[in-house]
Amino acid sequence: NMYACAVTYYKQLDSLLSHTLQYLYSSLNSDGQRRLQAEQGAWEEKKEIYFKKIDARVEKMHKRTMEGLDDDMISTDNKAAFLKDRLTTLLSI
């Protein structure tokens, strides 16, 4: 059931990231909000590229590994780590 744990962890980080962004937007002046919005947009693009790359790798691995959720669990954990890095960056603002 490690895959379910990885999904839960990912969802919690995603929620925390969303709430952190909302808090930061509300606490910044309009110039700061614009900068954060631009920075976040660039990060979202990087996230999309990274997640597509991970998903493509998992698809290739499924053809060579036993059926199961190990590859999905690892990719979900890698995605969570990507979110955690962004969250750490935002919390240092």
Q: What is the DSSP secondary-structure string of 59-80? A: HHHHHHS-SSSHHHHHHHHHHH
35-53: pLDDT as tens digits: 999 999 999 999 999 999 9
Q: How far apart are CA 29 and CA 53, in angstroms?
A: 36
- Comparing 11-25, 40-54, 61-75, the range with the smallest average pLDDT is 61-75
Whole-model pTM?
Answer: 0.88
